[in-house]
Amino acid sequence: IYKVVYGTEIHVMNSKEPITMQTLGIYQVSLQEITSKYTLTYKDSDEDMICLLNDVDMKILSESGMNKVKIEIQECSEDFYDQTQ
């Protein structure tokens, strides 16, 4: 089960198939204007916030064995983009 959260808006996905960025893209329309200044994040089993930037990250998440995942849509600071390039 995946929860996609943006502010107070929450959507629940119950998918037996691996999720992809395209799968989550369907929520971008209903979650208003999600731009490149936003990222998808989740908290892993070590309590670290992990960014989901592409389908490789999504595959790692789906293979992690986590039964319930809360995926948050968060605005990134400029520092985030400087560090990822």
Q: What is the pLDDT of residue 35?
A: 53
- Per-residue pLDDT for the chain (85 aa), expressed as one digit of tens each? 788 887 788 878 777 777 777 777 666 555 445 556 677 889 988 999 898 888 888 888 888 888 888 988 877 666 555 554 4
Over the Cα atoms of the chain, what is R_g? 12
Distances (CA, A) of 47 to 3, 20, 22, 41, 43: 17, 22, 26, 12, 5
CA 31 to the chain's CA centroid: 13
Q: What is the pLDDT of residue 85?
A: 47
d(CA 67, CA 24): 17
Global pTM value: 0.66
d(CA 76, CA 78): 7
